[in-house]
Structure 1
Amino acid sequence: MSALLDLQIATDNLQIPTQEQIQTWLDTVFSHLNADEKEITVRIVDEDEICELNHQYRGKDKPTNVLSFPFEMPELFLPDNTDGSDIYESTDDIEVPNLLGDLVICTQVVANEAEQQNKQNLDHWAHMIVHGTLHLFGFDHIQDDEAEEMETLEITILKQLAIDDPYQDH
């Protein structure tokens, strides 16, 4: 139960976690959820890139801390007059990608939030990795009950990493 990490660093900022730290945080989420091994891309960017993505995908023209993009399997395009049975006899023959999705995290926003909230920078990074990964697994915080469930999971997982409750006042 571990994540297959594809780390992309698209920033010159040096105040970012190591690949080993990110891997540990991801593996803790996967272990807690008893999740099968999946590939996850973590892309660390500056404000310009996150702002552009936030505008393009969420219609918000401002930077944000983390964006999550769950992998969606594209539909199989079949020729007319076929149901696909002549292509594959069973789904066992289809190689399904082992992808969970992508996280895009902004260095400046994470650093600014950590400072404003009186948190250790790496603790806030861990929280963003945990938070974003839970989104990739389908958790959300739009409704109050969903938010409570997701926050409880985050607190529990971060506690396993010896990190304080990120929602308490610091």
Structure 2
Amino acid sequence: MPRPEALVRRAAAAALEETGARGAITVLLADDAAVKRLNGRHRAKAKPTNVLSFPAEAPGYLGDVAVALGVVRREARGAGRRTADHLAHLVAHGALHLAGYDHLAAGEARRMERAEARIMRRLGRPNPWRGAT
């Protein structure tokens, strides 16, 4: 996938627009080893994950999102999706977490999924939940 920076900016901006959240975020596009270290340090899980969100406590700064590009590529391939579409979805997902969304309870998960679908539609990308089991 060539130069994903513009896509990442658009996905993050669309997520913030969806929520009305105000503030800056940083998105780290990293290799799996870097995200594995972050996941181990902050969640005590010794494996890479697709996306991590780290809320900030500074005014005007919402926080950081870290994306493991190898995981993203493998998940996209396994689901028969374009890597760019999956990357946009995960950046939006991470940004939604920084805006206060979560998916621990069924109602929260559904609310977050609907927001992700609207964001992806705004970006001209497919609904990541269509056809999901």
Residues 65-117 of structure 1, C-alpha deviations (whole Å, 9 max, x = no match): 000000024xxxxxxxxxxxxxxxxxxxxxxx321100010110000000000
Task: Give yes or no for the alignment of 1:101 onto 2:63.
Answer: yes
Structure 2 residues not aligned, in runs of 5+: none
Distance 1:112-1:51 versus aligned 2 partners, 3 A rule = same
Secondary structure at the counterpart of residue 104 of structure 1: strand
For 1:128 and 1:44, locate their aligned partners in 2 and report how far apart those are by CA, in whole Å.
Answer: 11
Letter in 2 for 1:58: R
For 1:17 and 1:116, locate their aligned partners in 2 and report how far apart those are by CA, in whole Å.
Answer: 22
In proportion to residue count, which structure has more helix?
2
Query: Which residue is equivalent to 1:70?
Result: 55
Aligned length: 132
For 2:20 and 2:37, locate their aligned partners in 1 and report how far apart those are by CA, in whole Å.
Answer: 34
For 2:32 and 2:43, locate their aligned partners in 1 and report how far apart those are by CA, in whole Å.
Answer: 15
Structure 1 residues not aligned, in runs of 5+: 1-14, 74-96
Query: Which residue is equivalent to 1:30?
Result: 16
Letter in 1 for 2:80: N
Kindly name which structure, 1 or 2, has the bigger radius of gyration based on alpha carbons: 1
Query: Which residue is equivalent to 2:123?
Result: 161
**TM-score, normalised to structure 2's length?**
0.92
For 2:8 and 2:31, locate their aligned partners in 1 and report how far apart those are by CA, in whole Å.
Answer: 18
**TM-score, normalised to structure 1's length?**
0.73
Question: Which of 18, 21, 24 is matched with 1:39 structurally?
Answer: 24
Question: Which of 104, 118, 123 is matched with 2:80 structurally?
Answer: 118
Identity %: 36
Query: Which residue is equivalent to 1:136?
Result: 98
**1:16 offset after TM fit, Å?**
5.6
Q: Are the counterparts in 2 of residues 68 and 136 from structure 1 also a CA contact under 8 Å?
A: yes
Q: Are the counterparts in 2 of residues 17 and 122 from structure 1 also a CA contact under 8 Å?
A: no
Task: Give yes or no for the alignment of 1:150 onto 2:112.
Answer: yes
